[in-house]
Amino acid sequence: MYQSKLNLKETEIAIKKVKDTFEAYLASSLQLMRVSAPLFVLSKSGLNDNLNGVEKPVSFVAKGISDSEIEIVHSLAKWKRMALAHYGFSVGEGLYTDMNAIRKDENVDHLHSIYVDQWDWEKIITEDERDRLYLELIVRTIVHALYLTQEELLKDFPNLDRYVFDDVFFITTKELEKLYPNLTPKEREHQIARVHNIVFIIGIGWPLANGKPHDGRSPDYDDWNLNGDLLVYHPYLDEAIEISSMGIRVDSKSLIEQLRYKDMTERLEYNYHQLIMSKRLPLTIGGGIGQSRICMLLLNKIHIGEVQASLWSSEEIKKCKEKNINLL
């Protein structure tokens, strides 16, 4: 029977410790400044994250803003790049924010909730930094910040086990497919994470040898050749947990290529896309880092509902009670 190493009060204290500590390490190591961010955007702005292209945002019409529907954000992938230009950030500088979202089409389970809380961050880079070497450098920096956070947490809660080590293994989706050709993408992630603990899988969006992408990715923010997912192995669950989706962002060339592939060139009419095409937005790298998933790992929890307050089905609540899982 599962037994949490922390009671409810200790859990809340530890959550704050993790969030405060990791946020500080992340900001200092990547030269990021905290900014305020929107909970919702206008539908017609084209700024919302389209995720895999099938999820529908929660939307509403507000009194006094009748000319457009309003959408709760899925993430701030596009908004951040606009903000960097609007606020006058320079090369090497960046921003981060607490991003809260509702994803009503999420398949809810022990790793997925309709409530999303993550750090969204974005940083201005040069043309020369738009390559795999720089992508890997940033990933290693994030993993190191996560490792340091864990070490600080263990000072206050020494009964917790280490789930994170200061190393990361890089592999492309094509290499991963060749390694495990008969497995599904999720099964491949599981196998590689069991071997290497922390894995960054590069190149998500373009089809693989089997004609299908490793996973879906919106065509208008990440460059599909220079993006990826950061996975950490959870030994109790025996699962690979994705804690971050990130990447170097599209330039005008990759934007057109990816929109053409997805047959979505009509998006080029949006202001955001026109700014990229005319090179009036800076070149950037950025991503989202799941706050609750990091807390799950560092606090040795087995259900995301142990570290965030959300809503669950009666069936899910019953399962948690049977497994001695205390939901917040």
Residues noted as catalytic: 49, 103, 118, 229, 242, 245
Q: What is the dihedral of CA 291, 293, 296, 299, to 10 degrees?
A: -40
Token pair for 67: 């000319």
Query: Which residue type occupies 230?
Result: L
- Report how far residue 179's alpha carbon sits from residue 182's, in angstroms, rounded to the nearest whole number: 9
Q: With helix as H, strand as E and coil as C, how does 154-172 read?
A: HHHCCCCCCCCCCCCEEEE
What residue spans of the chain are helical by DSSP H? 8-30, 77-87, 132-156, 173-179, 185-196, 252-261, 271-277, 291-298, 314-322
- Report how far residue 150's alpha carbon sits from residue 300's, in angstroms, rounded to the nearest whole number: 11
- Report how far residue 294's alpha carbon sits from residue 163's, in angstroms, rounded to the nearest whole number: 10
- Report how far residue 191's alpha carbon sits from residue 183's, in angstroms, rounded to the nearest whole number: 9
First vs last C-alpha separation in the chain: 19
- Report how far residue 141's alpha carbon sits from residue 135's, in angstroms, rounded to the nearest whole number: 10
Residue 160, CA atoms < 13 Å, CB-side half-sphere: 24
* Strand-strand pairing, 115-124 and 284-290: antiparallel
* Strand-strand pairing, 198-202 and 222-234: antiparallel
